[in-house]
Copies of this chain bind each other. A is one copy, B any other.
Amino acid sequence: MTAVRALWFRDPVLSILDQRELPRRTVVRRLSRVEDVAEAIRTLAVRGAPAIGVAAAYGMVVAERGGRHTPERAAGLLRATRPTAYDLFVGVETVRRAWASGGDPLAAADAYRTRIVEECHAIGTAGAPLFATARRVLTHCNAGALATVEWGTALAPIRVARRNGARLFVWVDETRPLLQGSRLTAWELARERIPHAIIADNAAGHYLATGQVDAVIVGADRIARNGDFANKIGTYEKAVVAHENGVPFYVAAPWSTFDARRASGASIPVEERGEDEVLEVGGRRLAPSASRARNPAFDVTPAKFVTAYVTPAGVVRQRAVGRAISEAARARAFAPD
Protein backbone atom coordinates (compact mmCIF):
# COMPACT_ATOMS: atom_id res chain seq x y z
CA MET A 1 0.00 0.00 0.00
CA THR A 2 1.15 3.49 -0.74
CA ALA A 3 1.27 6.32 1.75
CA VAL A 4 -1.35 8.35 -0.08
CA ARG A 5 -5.01 7.40 -0.47
CA ALA A 6 -7.29 9.48 -2.67
CA LEU A 7 -10.56 8.37 -1.05
CA TRP A 8 -12.16 5.97 1.45
CA PHE A 9 -15.70 4.92 2.35
CA ARG A 10 -17.17 4.59 5.86
CA ASP A 11 -20.80 3.69 5.43
CA PRO A 12 -22.66 5.84 4.44
CA VAL A 13 -20.09 8.58 3.73
CA LEU A 14 -17.46 8.82 1.00
CA SER A 15 -14.41 10.81 2.09
CA ILE A 16 -12.03 12.27 -0.45
CA LEU A 17 -8.77 14.14 -0.21
CA ASP A 18 -9.60 17.41 -1.97
CA GLN A 19 -7.03 17.51 -4.76
CA ARG A 20 -7.75 21.15 -5.57
CA GLU A 21 -6.18 22.14 -2.25
CA LEU A 22 -2.96 20.12 -2.54
CA PRO A 23 -0.12 20.60 -1.85
CA ARG A 24 -0.85 23.67 0.24
CA ARG A 25 -3.48 22.10 2.47
CA THR A 26 -4.72 18.61 3.27
CA VAL A 27 -8.49 18.92 3.24
CA VAL A 28 -10.82 15.94 3.52
CA ARG A 29 -14.34 16.35 2.11
CA ARG A 30 -17.11 14.13 3.46
CA LEU A 31 -19.67 13.41 0.77
CA SER A 32 -22.99 12.09 1.99
CA ARG A 33 -25.21 12.83 -1.02
CA VAL A 34 -24.73 11.53 -4.55
CA GLU A 35 -25.03 15.11 -5.78
CA ASP A 36 -21.99 15.97 -3.65
CA VAL A 37 -20.04 13.10 -5.18
CA ALA A 38 -21.01 14.26 -8.66
CA GLU A 39 -19.93 17.82 -7.82
CA ALA A 40 -16.59 16.58 -6.44
CA ILE A 41 -15.93 14.76 -9.71
CA ARG A 42 -17.08 17.69 -11.86
CA THR A 43 -14.87 20.19 -10.02
CA LEU A 44 -11.82 17.89 -9.92
CA ALA A 45 -11.80 17.62 -6.13
CA VAL A 46 -11.35 13.96 -7.03
CA ARG A 47 -9.71 13.31 -10.41
CA GLY A 48 -7.71 10.78 -12.38
CA ALA A 49 -9.65 8.25 -14.43
CA PRO A 50 -9.35 5.21 -12.11
CA ALA A 51 -10.05 7.30 -8.98
CA ILE A 52 -13.06 8.88 -10.70
CA GLY A 53 -14.35 5.38 -11.40
CA VAL A 54 -13.99 4.31 -7.77
CA ALA A 55 -15.47 7.57 -6.47
CA ALA A 56 -18.43 7.11 -8.80
CA ALA A 57 -18.86 3.48 -7.69
CA TYR A 58 -19.11 4.66 -4.09
CA GLY A 59 -21.29 7.53 -5.27
CA MET A 60 -23.82 4.88 -6.28
CA VAL A 61 -23.64 3.41 -2.77
CA VAL A 62 -24.13 6.88 -1.27
CA ALA A 63 -27.20 7.26 -3.50
CA GLU A 64 -28.62 3.90 -2.50
CA ARG A 65 -28.13 4.68 1.20
CA GLY A 66 -29.82 8.05 0.72
CA GLY A 67 -32.95 6.39 -0.60
CA ARG A 68 -33.91 9.30 -2.82
CA HIS A 69 -32.84 7.94 -6.20
CA THR A 70 -33.40 4.95 -8.43
CA PRO A 71 -30.24 3.21 -9.66
CA GLU A 72 -30.84 4.67 -13.10
CA ARG A 73 -31.22 8.23 -11.88
CA ALA A 74 -28.15 8.02 -9.64
CA ALA A 75 -26.14 6.58 -12.50
CA GLY A 76 -27.31 9.38 -14.76
CA LEU A 77 -26.21 12.05 -12.28
CA LEU A 78 -22.74 10.58 -12.02
CA ARG A 79 -22.29 9.85 -15.72
CA ALA A 80 -23.11 13.47 -16.57
CA THR A 81 -20.13 14.84 -14.67
CA ARG A 82 -17.25 14.28 -17.09
CA PRO A 83 -17.33 12.71 -20.55
CA THR A 84 -13.82 11.48 -21.28
CA ALA A 85 -12.64 9.04 -18.59
CA TYR A 86 -14.05 5.60 -19.42
CA ASP A 87 -13.49 4.41 -15.86
CA LEU A 88 -16.34 6.64 -14.71
CA PHE A 89 -18.82 4.69 -16.79
CA VAL A 90 -17.36 1.33 -15.78
CA GLY A 91 -17.44 2.19 -12.07
CA VAL A 92 -21.02 3.46 -12.21
CA GLU A 93 -22.28 0.52 -14.26
CA THR A 94 -20.60 -2.05 -12.04
CA VAL A 95 -22.55 -0.85 -8.99
CA ARG A 96 -25.74 0.01 -10.87
CA ARG A 97 -26.05 -3.63 -11.97
CA ALA A 98 -25.61 -4.95 -8.44
CA TRP A 99 -28.06 -2.43 -7.02
CA ALA A 100 -30.69 -2.86 -9.77
CA SER A 101 -30.59 -6.64 -9.43
CA GLY A 102 -31.14 -6.53 -5.68
CA GLY A 103 -27.54 -7.14 -4.66
CA ASP A 104 -25.48 -5.14 -2.18
CA PRO A 105 -24.09 -2.06 -3.91
CA LEU A 106 -21.45 -1.65 -1.20
CA ALA A 107 -20.04 -5.11 -1.84
CA ALA A 108 -19.90 -4.29 -5.56
CA ALA A 109 -18.16 -0.94 -4.93
CA ASP A 110 -15.70 -2.49 -2.48
CA ALA A 111 -14.90 -5.23 -4.98
CA TYR A 112 -14.45 -2.63 -7.71
CA ARG A 113 -12.12 -0.59 -5.54
CA THR A 114 -10.10 -3.68 -4.62
CA ARG A 115 -9.84 -4.66 -8.26
CA ILE A 116 -8.57 -1.22 -9.29
CA VAL A 117 -5.95 -1.19 -6.53
CA GLU A 118 -4.81 -4.71 -7.40
CA GLU A 119 -4.66 -3.86 -11.08
CA CYS A 120 -2.58 -0.78 -10.36
CA HIS A 121 -0.20 -2.85 -8.27
CA ALA A 122 -0.02 -5.38 -11.10
CA ILE A 123 0.77 -2.52 -13.49
CA GLY A 124 3.61 -1.57 -11.18
CA THR A 125 5.01 -5.08 -11.13
CA ALA A 126 4.63 -5.52 -14.87
CA GLY A 127 6.13 -2.15 -15.73
CA ALA A 128 8.98 -2.00 -13.25
CA PRO A 129 11.47 -3.87 -15.48
CA LEU A 130 11.04 -1.12 -18.10
CA PHE A 131 12.70 1.23 -15.63
CA ALA A 132 15.59 -0.96 -14.59
CA THR A 133 17.75 0.82 -17.13
CA ALA A 134 15.58 3.79 -18.13
CA ARG A 135 16.66 5.99 -15.28
CA ARG A 136 15.38 9.40 -16.35
CA VAL A 137 11.64 9.23 -16.78
CA LEU A 138 9.25 11.94 -17.97
CA THR A 139 5.63 11.95 -16.89
CA HIS A 140 2.74 14.27 -17.64
CA CYS A 141 -0.16 15.19 -15.37
CA ASN A 142 -0.73 13.03 -12.28
CA ALA A 143 -1.18 9.32 -12.73
CA GLY A 144 -0.19 8.44 -9.19
CA ALA A 145 -2.00 7.24 -6.10
CA LEU A 146 -4.15 10.36 -6.09
CA ALA A 147 -5.45 9.50 -9.54
CA THR A 148 -6.07 5.83 -8.85
CA VAL A 149 -6.78 5.38 -5.08
CA GLU A 150 -3.40 3.66 -4.51
CA TRP A 151 -0.15 3.00 -6.42
CA GLY A 152 -1.02 4.90 -9.54
CA THR A 153 -0.82 3.90 -13.16
CA ALA A 154 2.19 5.74 -14.62
CA LEU A 155 3.76 6.08 -11.18
CA ALA A 156 3.19 2.45 -10.13
CA PRO A 157 6.09 1.00 -12.17
CA ILE A 158 8.30 3.84 -10.93
CA ARG A 159 7.37 3.04 -7.33
CA VAL A 160 7.93 -0.69 -7.74
CA ALA A 161 11.19 -0.22 -9.64
CA ARG A 162 12.42 2.07 -6.87
CA ARG A 163 11.53 -0.47 -4.19
CA ASN A 164 13.44 -3.02 -6.25
CA GLY A 165 16.50 -0.80 -6.03
CA ALA A 166 16.38 1.12 -9.30
CA ARG A 167 17.76 4.65 -9.11
CA LEU A 168 15.26 6.82 -10.89
CA PHE A 169 14.85 10.49 -11.60
CA VAL A 170 11.48 11.85 -12.71
CA TRP A 171 10.89 14.88 -14.94
CA VAL A 172 7.51 16.24 -13.88
CA ASP A 173 5.61 18.28 -16.47
CA GLU A 174 3.79 20.93 -14.45
CA THR A 175 0.67 20.29 -16.59
CA ARG A 176 -1.13 23.50 -17.19
CA PRO A 177 -3.78 24.65 -16.78
CA LEU A 178 -4.47 22.91 -13.47
CA LEU A 179 -0.90 21.96 -12.55
CA GLN A 180 -1.59 18.36 -11.61
CA GLY A 181 2.10 17.68 -12.22
CA SER A 182 3.67 20.40 -10.10
CA ARG A 183 0.98 20.19 -7.42
CA LEU A 184 0.15 16.48 -7.21
CA THR A 185 2.81 14.32 -8.88
CA ALA A 186 5.58 16.35 -7.26
CA TRP A 187 3.80 16.03 -3.91
CA GLU A 188 3.60 12.25 -4.21
CA LEU A 189 7.24 11.97 -5.28
CA ALA A 190 8.44 14.34 -2.57
CA ARG A 191 6.67 12.28 0.11
CA GLU A 192 8.55 9.18 -1.02
CA ARG A 193 11.80 11.07 -1.59
CA ILE A 194 11.92 10.06 -5.24
CA PRO A 195 14.28 12.50 -6.99
CA HIS A 196 12.45 14.72 -9.43
CA ALA A 197 12.37 18.13 -11.07
CA ILE A 198 9.33 20.09 -12.11
CA ILE A 199 9.50 21.61 -15.58
CA ALA A 200 7.22 23.84 -17.61
CA ASP A 201 5.34 21.69 -20.11
CA ASN A 202 7.21 23.60 -22.79
CA ALA A 203 10.55 22.24 -21.57
CA ALA A 204 9.81 18.53 -22.08
CA GLY A 205 10.81 18.72 -25.75
CA HIS A 206 14.15 20.27 -24.87
CA TYR A 207 15.03 17.42 -22.53
CA LEU A 208 13.76 14.80 -24.98
CA ALA A 209 15.81 16.29 -27.80
CA THR A 210 19.00 16.62 -25.77
CA GLY A 211 19.13 12.99 -24.63
CA GLN A 212 18.09 13.64 -21.04
CA VAL A 213 14.96 11.46 -21.02
CA ASP A 214 15.19 7.65 -21.22
CA ALA A 215 11.46 6.93 -21.25
CA VAL A 216 8.07 8.63 -21.02
CA ILE A 217 5.16 7.10 -19.12
CA VAL A 218 1.67 8.48 -18.74
CA GLY A 219 -1.75 7.30 -17.64
CA ALA A 220 -4.87 7.39 -19.79
CA ASP A 221 -8.50 8.43 -19.58
CA ARG A 222 -9.77 6.18 -22.35
CA ILE A 223 -8.05 3.74 -24.68
CA ALA A 224 -9.78 2.74 -27.93
CA ARG A 225 -9.65 -0.71 -29.48
CA ASN A 226 -6.89 0.27 -31.91
CA GLY A 227 -4.74 1.67 -29.10
CA ASP A 228 -5.45 5.37 -29.66
CA PHE A 229 -5.92 6.96 -26.28
CA ALA A 230 -7.18 10.11 -24.61
CA ASN A 231 -5.19 11.62 -21.78
CA LYS A 232 -4.54 15.02 -20.22
CA ILE A 233 -4.07 17.82 -22.72
CA GLY A 234 -0.44 17.95 -23.83
CA THR A 235 0.10 14.18 -23.83
CA TYR A 236 -0.10 14.13 -27.62
CA GLU A 237 2.75 16.65 -27.97
CA LYS A 238 4.98 14.63 -25.64
CA ALA A 239 4.22 11.43 -27.57
CA VAL A 240 5.04 12.99 -30.95
CA VAL A 241 8.28 14.50 -29.68
CA ALA A 242 9.32 11.29 -27.88
CA HIS A 243 8.74 9.40 -31.13
CA GLU A 244 10.77 11.95 -33.09
CA ASN A 245 13.66 11.38 -30.69
CA GLY A 246 13.41 7.59 -30.41
CA VAL A 247 12.46 7.70 -26.74
CA PRO A 248 10.07 4.90 -25.61
CA PHE A 249 6.58 6.10 -24.75
CA TYR A 250 4.46 3.97 -22.41
CA VAL A 251 0.78 4.20 -21.46
CA ALA A 252 -0.24 2.59 -18.16
CA ALA A 253 -3.87 1.81 -17.37
CA PRO A 254 -6.16 -0.69 -15.62
CA TRP A 255 -8.78 -2.53 -17.69
CA SER A 256 -11.44 0.00 -16.72
CA THR A 257 -9.78 2.53 -19.02
CA PHE A 258 -9.98 0.28 -22.12
CA ASP A 259 -13.07 1.04 -24.21
CA ALA A 260 -13.47 -2.07 -26.36
CA ARG A 261 -16.47 -0.68 -28.21
CA ARG A 262 -14.60 2.36 -29.48
CA ALA A 263 -12.81 1.49 -32.74
CA SER A 264 -10.40 4.42 -32.68
CA GLY A 265 -9.60 7.63 -30.86
CA ALA A 266 -11.43 9.78 -33.40
CA SER A 267 -14.76 9.41 -31.60
CA ILE A 268 -13.54 9.74 -28.00
CA PRO A 269 -15.41 12.68 -26.46
CA VAL A 270 -12.99 15.42 -25.40
CA GLU A 271 -14.20 17.57 -22.52
CA GLU A 272 -13.76 21.32 -22.86
CA ARG A 273 -13.65 23.07 -19.52
CA GLY A 274 -14.19 26.69 -18.53
CA GLU A 275 -11.83 29.34 -19.87
CA ASP A 276 -11.04 30.69 -16.41
CA GLU A 277 -8.76 27.70 -15.79
CA VAL A 278 -6.50 29.17 -18.49
CA LEU A 279 -7.07 32.88 -17.91
CA GLU A 280 -6.42 32.63 -14.17
CA VAL A 281 -3.49 31.07 -12.37
CA GLY A 282 -3.91 30.27 -8.70
CA GLY A 283 -7.14 32.25 -8.67
CA ARG A 284 -5.56 35.41 -10.09
CA ARG A 285 -6.29 36.67 -13.58
CA LEU A 286 -3.07 37.26 -15.50
CA ALA A 287 -4.51 37.64 -19.02
CA PRO A 288 -5.98 40.87 -20.45
CA SER A 289 -9.62 41.44 -19.59
CA ALA A 290 -10.62 41.55 -23.26
CA SER A 291 -9.05 38.17 -24.09
CA ARG A 292 -10.84 34.83 -24.19
CA ALA A 293 -9.42 31.34 -23.87
CA ARG A 294 -10.10 27.79 -25.03
CA ASN A 295 -9.55 24.92 -22.67
CA PRO A 296 -9.70 21.35 -23.99
CA ALA A 297 -8.94 19.11 -21.02
CA PHE A 298 -7.71 16.14 -23.07
CA ASP A 299 -6.17 15.27 -26.36
CA VAL A 300 -6.08 12.03 -28.33
CA THR A 301 -2.77 10.36 -29.14
CA PRO A 302 -2.67 7.92 -32.07
CA ALA A 303 -1.47 4.41 -31.23
CA LYS A 304 1.48 4.73 -33.60
CA PHE A 305 3.25 6.90 -31.05
CA VAL A 306 2.89 4.34 -28.24
CA THR A 307 5.75 1.91 -27.67
CA ALA A 308 3.72 -0.29 -25.31
CA TYR A 309 0.80 -0.34 -22.91
CA VAL A 310 1.49 -1.33 -19.33
CA THR A 311 -1.58 -3.35 -18.29
CA PRO A 312 -2.45 -5.50 -15.29
CA ALA A 313 -1.66 -8.52 -17.49
CA GLY A 314 1.77 -7.26 -18.45
CA VAL A 315 3.45 -5.04 -21.01
CA VAL A 316 1.56 -5.19 -24.29
CA ARG A 317 3.31 -3.97 -27.40
CA GLN A 318 1.36 -1.58 -29.57
CA ARG A 319 0.52 -4.17 -32.25
CA ALA A 320 -1.00 -6.58 -29.75
CA VAL A 321 -3.19 -4.08 -27.92
CA GLY A 322 -6.40 -4.92 -29.77
CA ARG A 323 -6.39 -8.53 -28.62
CA ALA A 324 -5.61 -7.57 -25.02
CA ILE A 325 -8.50 -5.13 -24.99
CA SER A 326 -10.95 -7.65 -26.39
CA GLU A 327 -10.00 -10.14 -23.71
CA ALA A 328 -10.43 -7.50 -21.00
CA ALA A 329 -13.88 -6.64 -22.35
CA ARG A 330 -14.96 -10.28 -22.40
CA ALA A 331 -13.79 -10.67 -18.80
CA ARG A 332 -15.91 -7.69 -17.78
CA ALA A 333 -18.95 -9.11 -19.62
CA PHE A 334 -20.79 -5.81 -19.91
CA ALA A 335 -20.63 -2.60 -21.88
CA PRO A 336 -20.97 0.33 -19.54
CA ASP A 337 -22.56 2.97 -21.78
Known contacts A176-B200, A201-B202, A241-B240; A209/B288 CB under 8 A:
no
Known contacts A200-B295, A202-B176; A182/B241 CB under 8 A:
no
Q: List which A177-223 residues lie within 8 A (CB) of chain B.
A: 177, 179, 182-183, 186-187, 189-190, 196-206, 209
Contact of A196 among B177, B202, B237, B291 (CB under 8 A): B291
Chain B residues with CB under 8 Å of A198's CB are 278-279, 287, 291-294
Q: List which A278-331 residues lie within 8 A (CB) of chain B.
A: 278-279, 281-282, 284, 286-296, 299-300
A202 touches B175 (CB 8 A): yes
A244 contacts the other chain (Cβ, under 8 Å)?
Answer: yes
A54 contacts the other chain (Cβ, under 8 Å)?
Answer: no
B190 touches A290 (CB 8 A): yes
Contact of A201 among B234, B240, B286, B289 (CB under 8 A): B234
Chain B residues with CB under 8 Å of A190's CB are 288, 290-291
Chain B residues with CB under 8 Å of A93's CB are none
A179 vs B292: C-alpha distance in the bound complex, in angstroms?
15
Contact of A288 among B23, B202, B296, B299 (CB under 8 A): B23
Query: Which residues of A come within 8 Å of B, CB atoms?
Result: 23-24, 172, 174-177, 179, 182-183, 186-187, 189-190, 196-206, 209, 232-234, 236-237, 240-241, 244, 270, 278-279, 281-282, 284, 286-296, 299-300
Number of copies: 2
Output the residue of A183, A187, A198, A289 with the most chain B CB within 10 A.
A198
A295 vs B202: C-alpha distance in the bound complex, in angstroms?
10
A186 vs B292: C-alpha distance in the bound complex, in angstroms?
9
A281 touches B278 (CB 8 A): no
B299 touches A234 (CB 8 A): no
A201 touches B176 (CB 8 A): yes
Measured CB to CB, the closest approach of chain B to A237, in angstroms, equals 4
Chain B residues with CB under 8 Å of A209's CB are 236, 299-300
**A205 — nearest CB in chain B belongs to which residue?**
B237
Chain B residues with CB under 8 Å of A205's CB are 234, 236-237, 240, 299
Chain B residues with CB under 8 Å of A291's CB are 172, 182, 186-187, 189-190, 196-198
In the complex, given contacts A205-B237, A205-B240, what are 19 additional A-B residue pairs having Cβ atoms less than 8 angstroms apart? A24-B286, A172-B291, A174-B278, A176-B200, A197-B292, A198-B278, A199-B293, A199-B295, A200-B201, A201-B234, A205-B299, A206-B236, A206-B270, A206-B296, A209-B300, A237-B241, A240-B241, A282-B286, A284-B284
B234 touches A200 (CB 8 A): yes
A293 vs B202: C-alpha distance in the bound complex, in angstroms?
13
Known contacts A202-B234, A237-B237, A291-B186; A282/B279 CB under 8 A:
no
Chain B residues with CB under 8 Å of A284's CB are 282, 284
B182 touches A278 (CB 8 A): yes
Contact of A202 among B23, B189, B233 (CB under 8 A): B233
A234 vs B202: C-alpha distance in the bound complex, in angstroms?
4
**A195 — nearest CB in chain B belongs to which residue?**
B292
A245 vs B136: C-alpha distance in the bound complex, in angstroms?
28
A40 vs B313: C-alpha distance in the bound complex, in angstroms?
57
Chain B residues with CB under 8 Å of A176's CB are 174, 176, 200-202
